[in-house]
Amino acid sequence: MLAASIFRPTLLLCWLAAPWPTQPESLFHSRDRSDLEPSPLRQAKPIADLHAAQRFLSRYGWSGVRAAWGPSPEGPPETPKGAALAEAVRRFQRANALPASGELDAQPRGSPDGGAAQAFSKRTLSWRLLGEALSSQLSAAEQRRIVALAFRMWSEVTPLDFREDLAAPGAAVDIKLGFGRGKSAPGSRPADTQNGEWIRAWKWSETSSKQTSHFAAPSVAVHEIGHVLGLPHTYRTGSIMQPNYIPQEPAFELDWSDRKAIQKLYGSCEGSFDTAFDWIRKERNQYGEVMVRFSTYFFRNSWYWLYENRNNRTRYGDPIQILTGWPGIPTHNIDAFVHIWTWKRDERYFFQGNQYWRYDSDKDQALTEDEQGKSYPKLISEGFPGIPSPLDTAFYDRRQKLIYFFKESLVFAFDVNRNRVLNSYPKKITEVFPAIIPQNHPFRNIDSAYYSYAYNSIFFFKGNAYWKVVNDKDKQQNSWLPANGLFPKKFISEKWFDVCDVHISTLNM
């Protein structure tokens, strides 16, 4: 859909009347203590001896001397060479703004990372960047932007709602952040070691603190907020919660392990969709062959997500406002999307209320008029006679060249070639799409019906659940299954990960 595209090679297959996409999609684009809960996450292991220290320093790039990972054949491990170890320790200490003695000791700088991490029990959290603790290296507006972005990154993978609060009394703000100066700033994380500035995030009434290592903003803010949310340090390559970390690239993101760790504390995102669909594109490769790509989109309220099927997660930086990514269609509460796709037709329609819009994939915008000069949007009753409005949802079945329109407990089968509803319709949804297990069925008011090219299956969504429709492969493997039968419901969050809302103030970040 948008700007730059990154495509994976895809074979062109033929099925009935048109090309059939077979590979994943291309990408089309940019506390108070009464509220604490124990965290089940394990803490980082302590550095207990010289060999553990050498392994740590070597693993994370502080030392070029390779550590011994076990006893040698002749006896106990050889003691690490003193000069090399001392220099590695000094580098580590300087990066952490500790006295660069080159000696290992047990004295903590701030409080050690022991004890159980703690998590919030509520899901809406307020935050504030303290005006008296701003950095001199960045404008106040830029600091607020960095902090808001850091909160957004955590909200993209959790059901947490972070809200900046500039009005409430300080004691009522859940999370406060600020910069300070000096090498011994307690519980701080260096944002710029050359200028001696630190970033600090803490919970209200918190007295303990954690000494951490060199980061470059905004990853420093993401790390500190991770601690406030209950995550301990972890020695896992790629994690934002490493105690020592090579500065991140500007476009860094939370890795899979960070996502799963925070979701252990707060759960996965749940929610319904207004509509879901796969967006099909055709292009020619270097050999002139037509290649078919698809991208999966989920719409909710006034924003949308692109789902990366190959990574099994939403695109980094989503959701985005519909207004930004889909020019000319309604900016919220889309009822349905239909893609009529045959050898002769390639038409995309969005439905809302009693109207529909046709979308031009090549120009990436909704059409304002048809070939005869008649204006869009048009009435559903005119373009699709016999179809009621407003709709619950709809999808195009390429096997039968039918659009299935859903309204309350009824389904209408619409013949796109004859432009009319089939004579035997409407029918009960339960008649056309029967439950495999009695009573395990959405029955009525389906949120979205969607054919997935990633799974070669139709899915019905309602609330936070989905039902998969029996497909041809299912029938071949189990002939007793009813045609178009619905498998028992499952939770959307178990199949499609990280479809999470963010606060509306951060939608354009």
| Neighbouring C-beta atoms of residue 179, cutoff 10 Å | 23
Three-state DSSP at 6 gives strand
Q: Does 509 count as an annotated binding residue?
A: no
* The one-letter amino acid at 242: Q
DSSP state of 344: S
Pick the catalytic residue from 156, 224, 371, 494. 224
Q: Does 503 count as an annotated binding residue?
A: no
Taking the C-alpha atoms of residue 371 and residue 503, their distance in angstroms, rounded to an integer, is 41
Q: Does 174 count as an annotated binding residue?
A: yes
Q: Does 258 count as an annotated binding residue?
A: no
Q: Does 241 count as an annotated binding residue?
A: yes
Q: Does 360 count as an annotated binding residue?
A: no
Taking the C-alpha atoms of residue 14 and residue 21, their distance in angstroms, rounded to an integer, is 9
First to last CA, the chain: 19
Three-state DSSP at 201 gives strand
Q: Does 474 count as an annotated binding residue?
A: no
Residue with tokens 């009621």, as numbered in its chain: 388
- Burial pattern 398-435, b for ≥16 Cβ within 10 A else e, equals beebbbbbbbebbbbbbebeeeebeeebbeebbebbbb
Provide the pairing of β-strand 27-28 with 320-321. Answer: unpaired
* The one-letter amino acid at 382: E
Q: Are 293 and 308 in contact (CB under 8 A)?
A: no
Q: Transcribe 105-129 into DSSP letters.
A: ----SSB-S-S--EEESSSEEEEEE
* The one-letter amino acid at 231: L
Angle, helices 256-266 vs 219-229, to 10°: value is: 30
Q: Transcribe 214-260 into DSSP letters.
A: ---TTHHHHHHHHHHHT------TT-TT-SS-PPPPTT----HHHHH
| Neighbouring C-beta atoms of residue 283, cutoff 10 Å | 13
Nearest CA to 96 out of 227, 215, 230 is that of: 215
Q: Which residues pair with 15 in a beta bridge?
A: 18
Does the active-site annotation cover 347?
A: no
Residue with tokens 């990574």, as numbered in its chain: 311
Q: Does 335 count as an annotated binding residue?
A: yes
Taking CA atoms, 133 is separated from 148, 182, 214, 369, 421, in Å, by: 16, 13, 19, 56, 66
DSSP H/E element including 411:
strand 410-415
Taking the C-alpha atoms of residue 326 and residue 485, their distance in angstroms, rounded to an integer, is 34
Q: Are 450 and 278 in contact (CB under 8 A)?
A: yes
Residues at the binding site are 174, 192, 206, 223, 227, 233, 241, 335, 394, 447
Residues at the binding site for Ca(2+) are 174, 192, 206, 335, 394, 447
Residues at the binding site for Zn(2+) are 223, 227, 233, 241
Tell me the catalytic residues: 224
